[in-house]
Structure 1
Amino acid sequence: MSSGRLLVKQTFVVFTICLVWLSVPANGHIHQRTPGGVHLRTLKRGGINTNQSDGSSIWQPRPGVKWQIQLENAVEDTSINAEVICYFSAGTYEEWRSDADQFSSSDFGSSLDDWPGERWLDINSSNVRRILSARLDMAQKKGCDGVDPDNIDGYDNENGLGLTTNDSINLLKYLANQAHSRGMSIGLKNGGDIISDVIDNMQWSVNEQCAQYNECDTYAAFTSVNKPVFHIEYSGEDVGSQRKLKIRVTEEKKSDACHAEGAEKFSTVIKNMNLSAWVEYC
């Protein structure tokens, strides 16, 4: 993992991400929006296993676990015994992925303004769901304990496909069933508008910038049912290089991130936009 510190008697989550289509250490991963595919995140085993109807168990982390996320640069410290969560974009096409040629032109919606080479997907398409199922197969083969499907909120963007909240709800329930049947847990990435419809199917939430947008009380629905919220706030500062890992944000910025209304039980980290190894904790 990266620069995370393991505290005595405290569960630590190393939530970095790496491409499942690349060679990945057994206990580490890097998340990056560069050529690759399904990314990995790692979590130290802390929590409980929930039994499914078929007798299999799904890993359920507890609220308040300390964690780290890294997208940029190789993870240097892989000594922490951590769980692995595989990341992939469930709602967008990315032209650099190794399975990009499997999508059909009819699957595509609008381009994403801030992410060149990326387009919204018709998440109701049987072809799209076939590809996502194949990615879940790959995550299972890689030994991932959970999956983090990103970009599920096309309904809240100019998607060019007329996608609705019900479309995202149906997709997430489909992915949850598929992940659970493979023995993996699953989390909701952002998507505050549909929490009440999918929270029973999810094992955690990943949120970006709820403090900045005054939305943390919405995501507290997860911690209220003993499920963690992995919460990221961005520093807005260039603190990404290895030479700057000891740079600290102002106390005001830290207070804004760590003491937002509703975020008392969140697992909060302060990161730069590149998601390098640099991190600040509350």
Structure 2
Amino acid sequence: MRIRPRTRAVGRALPACVALALLSVVAACRVGLTAPGAPTTWPASSAGRWQWQWQLSGVLDPTVDADVFLLDPVATTAAQTAELRSRDRRLVCQVHVGSFLPSDPDADRFPAAVRGAASRRPQSRWLDVRQWDALRPVLADRFRLCRGKGFGAVALADADGYANRSGFPLGFDDQLLFNRRLAGLARSLSLSPGLINDLGQVAALAPDFDFAVNEECVRRDQCARLLPFVEAGKPVFHVEYAGSTTDFCVTTVGYGLSSIRKERELDAWRIPCPAP
């Protein structure tokens, strides 16, 4: 069962002056939508209060009551992003920057020398993030696809190959340099950069990124590691795949996270934590 916040309608019996006053308050509190062609902004005053949706499978539901949508830029159409923007939604595209699938439309652009061991997604393989000159053109085009479809932000997935058996001798500093280069590349293309997971580098990368996305910090007892983003007034979009929102929301709201409960297939279903 989905739980959606509801807004109480202003009764018709209210005097016109009272209704006008209420509408003025709503307009003053509403966060303005960034115009197309500009990177998404994340006002510090709204950090921890964003309602968000992460959908990568199934038929996109544009009616979900969320401020922010994290979506697949290949599967999402320009018409869908246009509809979401008409609803004043902020749009974030998820781009795999440290791995690729053989079925990716641009898979043949990755030279054999940068293809590593099996990654966490079925059939995917890690990339050698030290080979910036080889990877940059492909990833830049992935970012341009996001921008062309109307996204204002990009979230970097698989940006932690150094902490996995990638097939390459990747070090902490190799990954750090790569991720910072990607944040700069995103900004050069008018996209707000965000970091998915990679908790081992959050403290170092928080100044370079505008927001973070995290999976299961409550289950893993790692939410405190996200505080560099929170303390900088930057949003952290968090998801748990098990447990009750009644239990974990108390923890994550206390940390200043924007949290939801999802199934691992990341379809349209969600249960959000209430905003503080």
TM-score bucket (shorter structure): 0.7 to 0.9
2:125 corresponding residue in structure 1: 119
Residues 262, 74 of structure 1: CA spacing in aligned structure 2 closer, same or farther, 3 A cutoff? closer
2:20 corresponding residue in structure 1: none
Residues 148, 57 of structure 1: CA spacing in aligned structure 2 closer, same or farther, 3 A cutoff? closer
2:91 corresponding residue in structure 1: 84
The CA deviation at 1:130 is: 1.7
Q: Which residue identity does 1:116 align to in structure 2?
A: P
Does structure 1 residue 63 correspond to structure 2 residue 41?
Answer: no
What does 1:1-282 align with in structure 2 at a 5 Å threshold?
Answer: 5=4, 8=7, 46=31, 59-61=41-43, 62-64=46-48, 65-77=50-62, 80-112=87-119, 114-125=120-131, 126-235=133-242, 253-260=244-251, 263-282=254-273
The CA deviation at 1:263 is: 4.9
TM-score, normalization: structure 1?
A: 0.72
The CA deviation at 1:99 is: 0.3
The CA deviation at 1:84 is: 1.5
Distance in 1, matches of 2:181 and 2:228, equals 21
Residues 168, 210 of structure 1: CA spacing in aligned structure 2 closer, same or farther, 3 A cutoff? same
Q: Residues 228 and 266 of structure 1 are in contact (CA less than 8 Å); yes or no, is this contact kept in structure 2?
A: yes
Q: Equivalent residue of 2:219, what SS?
A: coil
Residues 277, 261 of structure 1: CA spacing in aligned structure 2 closer, same or farther, 3 A cutoff? closer
Q: Which residue identity does 1:124 align to in structure 2?
A: R
Distance in 2, matches of 1:76 and 1:262, equals 26
Residues 105, 218 of structure 1: CA spacing in aligned structure 2 closer, same or farther, 3 A cutoff? same
1:246 corresponding residue in structure 2: none
Relative contact order, higher structure (CA 8 A, sep 6+): 2
TM-score, normalization: structure 2?
A: 0.73
The CA deviation at 1:116 is: 2.5
Q: Which residue identity does 1:75 align to in structure 2?
A: L
The CA deviation at 1:254 is: 2.4
Residues 47, 108 of structure 1: CA spacing in aligned structure 2 closer, same or farther, 3 A cutoff? farther
Structure that is richer in helix per residue: 2
The CA deviation at 1:7 is: 5.2
Q: Equivalent residue of 2:207, what SS?
A: helix
Distance in 2, matches of 1:193 and 1:152, equals 11
Structure that is richer in strand per residue: 1
Q: What are structure 2's unaligned runs of at least 5 residues?
A: 9-29, 63-82
Q: Equivalent residue of 2:218, what SS?
A: coil
Which digits, 9 at most, give the CA deviation of each residue in 1:27-65, with x for residues without a partner? xxxxxxxxxxxxxxxxxx94797xxxxxx7652253121
Q: What are structure 1's unaligned runs of at least 5 residues?
A: 10-44, 50-55, 236-248
Residues 8, 203 of structure 1: CA spacing in aligned structure 2 closer, same or farther, 3 A cutoff? farther
Q: Equivalent residue of 1:69, what SS?
A: strand
Q: Which residue identity does 1:230 align to in structure 2?
A: F
Aligned residues: 222
Q: Residues 3 and 272 of structure 2 are in contact (CA less than 8 Å); yes or no, is this contact kept in structure 1?
A: no
Q: Which residue identity does 2:194 align to in structure 1?
A: G
Distance in 2, matches of 1:187 and 1:103, equals 23
The CA deviation at 1:220 is: 2.0
Q: Which has the larger radius of gyration?
A: 2
Distance in 1, matches of 2:188 and 2:264, equals 34
Distance in 1, matches of 2:115 and 2:209, equals 27
Q: Equivalent residue of 1:81, what SS?
A: coil
Percent of aligned positions that are identical = 28
1:31 corresponding residue in structure 2: none
Residues 221, 7 of structure 1: CA spacing in aligned structure 2 closer, same or farther, 3 A cutoff? farther
Residues 68, 261 of structure 1: CA spacing in aligned structure 2 closer, same or farther, 3 A cutoff? closer
